[in-house]
Amino acid sequence: MFSGTLVALVTPFNDSQVDWQKLDELVDFQLAAGTNGIVPMGTTGESPTLTHPEHERVIEAVVKRVGGKVPVVAGTGSNSTSEAVRLTTFARKVGADGALLVNPYYNKPTQQGLYEHFKAVAEEADIPVVLYNIPGRCGVALSVETICRLAEVKNIVGIKEATGVLDVSSEIAASCDLTILSGDDSLTLPIMAVGGKGVISVAANIVPREVGKLTSAMLAGDIEKATAQHQKIFKLFKAMFIETNPIPVKTALALMGKCREEFRLPMCPMSPANREKLIEVLKQYGLV
């Protein structure tokens, strides 16, 4: 259902408020570049710092702007199952094509608790669900065994794999029928080589066409072309994580004139030293 390059969209701010005009412009930029899907309100969208009304309005605004041209997979995860159900049900109501559900963070549920959480949301909200396995952010990881149990649940169709361990993707691909999407730009090539279908990409915010060339080549079976593309933009992939995401990518977008360099605490501007490193990489790619 979901494949290729899906962008983990940033949320632009202006004087502490969501910049709705820039949000529309960022969506337009992605559509013009041929991005295969848009993912608002994930980690890159600074979802933990938005109010619930803002969160919902961003999802609705993106769905409206996309206008059915590509799938919208809305970030609707929470460490409260009832809250995740509510956000996911809202996303379905306003026309999102899927929901991205992060592992419940901070409360560190057991594997059974994780299973019951995702099962409850998928069944109650009745929308295609992509699991989001990112233990570095959440303090807990879905085991492959639990992932395969969840693959049997109605509406659970995929997983954003962001453990950073390639064997996890291999084990999932060998054990159950879920669409695997890379959660790390620098691992998209190897994850697709072992059975993944694409990426939910941070770097696609700034170079959507270039990331798209990589995933398109892999989906077409042209590993040589995909490898060359991976090597071409690898330094850019790594530069997006010299500080906590989405600080580098949002700074890059600001330097490109696409949004303000504005964050909500506890996200903050880059250190001067890392900002200079980022600018140097962006110059190498002709982006500033």
Give the residue numbers annotated as catalytic, written as ranges.
Answer: 132, 160
Residue 152, number of CB atoms within 10 A of its CB? 10
d(CA 60, CA 63): 5
Spatial contact of 91 and 76, defined as CB atoms under 8 Å apart: yes
**How many whole angstroms separate alpha carbon 161 and alpha carbon 147?**
11
Distance separating alpha carbons of residues 137 and 164, to the nearest angstrom: 12
DSSP code string of the chain: ---EEEEE----EETTEE-HHHHHHHHHHHHHTT-SEEE-SSTTTTGGGS-HHHHHHHHHHHHHHHTTSS-BEEE---SSHHHHHHHHHHHHHTT-SEEEEEPPPSS---HHHHHHHHHHHHHHH-S-EEEEE-HHHHS----HHHHHHHTTSTTEEEEEE-SS-HHHHHHHHHH---EEEESSGGGHHHHHHTT--EEEESGGGT-HHHHHHHHHHHHTT-HHHHHHHHHHHHHHHHHTTSSSTTHHHHHHHHHTTSS-S---TT--PPPHHHHHHHHHHHHHTT--
